[in-house]
Structure 1
């Protein structure tokens, strides 16, 4: 194979990847933050996440519209819940997510853009108490899903 042939194959592949990325971005942009939140809550429920809380951040923070906090019973379940959520959002909605902490499995943060998801082991969640940081006591009870 000549060098020119290799370059043209690489250019063709690059064009296909760019078109695919553009299509994926268009799909992910069609979801509203409320629709994305609902898909996230469904995924967490399907994977048996416990004590799920949603926090409405609109008007409180510019980082996202919603935050979801959930627990898994073990490090393995926390990692699994997180991995499946990221895979579903990518496969079903073309949503690329940033993930931190999956390897340790104590606290996984998933940034989906409009919704920030925290999945904790119960002991770690109790230590950090994110709900208390973002919700008043009366809001905490109402935020449980």
Structure 2
């Protein structure tokens, strides 16, 4: 049960810089993705856009097996940071969602990523993509 004092504390603002824990976690996730040879990695700052999370990371794996292996590395990075993420999309591994609260991770096969185009949804371009 939450104490009256804890309930009276205001929630942190949606806008502003990511909390230090989120920044450290993102750095660990990006390292895990780099070590796993992920492609087209994009980090999107969600501050002021949603209260869903602070940061969204999107990456591409070359095959279902590669997507699954990248997901395993990212889940390990979350757990090492003391976060138990919720994972959706395994074992099929066309698209894996890893929800760690402050940080949300999407890992796609190339054609699935192109179909959903989350970068466009959140108003950012993919690496190497020209914007009109």
Q: TM-score, normalised by structure 2?
A: 0.77
1:140: Cα distance to partner? Answer: 6.5
Is 1:103 equivalent to 2:91 in the alignment?
A: yes
Q: Which runs of 5+ in 1 are unaligned?
A: 1-29
Q: CA RMSD in A?
A: 2.0
Equivalent residue pairs, number:
111
SS at match of 1:58: coil
Contact kept, 8 Å, 1:52 with 1:68, in 2: the verdict is yes
On the 8 A contact 1:107/1:124 being kept in 2, the answer is yes
Is the 2:57–2:103 contact (alpha carbons within 8 Å) kept by the matching residues of 1?
yes
Moved over 4 A (4+): 139-142
Q: Are 1:114 and 2:102 an aligned pair?
A: yes
Give the match for residue 32 of structure 1: 21
Instruction: Give the structure 2 partner of residue 87 of structure 1.
Output: 76
The CA deviation at 1:89 is: 2.2
- Can you list the C-alpha shifts for 1:34-93, whole angstroms capped at 9, x where unaligned? 111111111111111100001100110100000000000000000110012112321x22
In structure 2, what is the Cα distance between the partners aligned to 1:45 and 1:85? 11
> Relative to 1, partners in 2 of residues 1:107 and 1:95: Cα closer, same or farther, differing over 3 Å?
same
- Structure 2, unmatched stretches of 5+, are 1-18
Q: Which residue of 2 aligns with 1:20?
A: none
Match of 2:45 among 56, 79, 84: 56
Aligned to 1:11: none
Give the 3-state SS of the residue equivalent to 1:32 in structure 2. Answer: helix
- In the TM superposition, 1:118-137 aligns within 5 A as 118-137=106-125
Aligned partners of 1:72 and 1:119 also within 8 Å:
yes
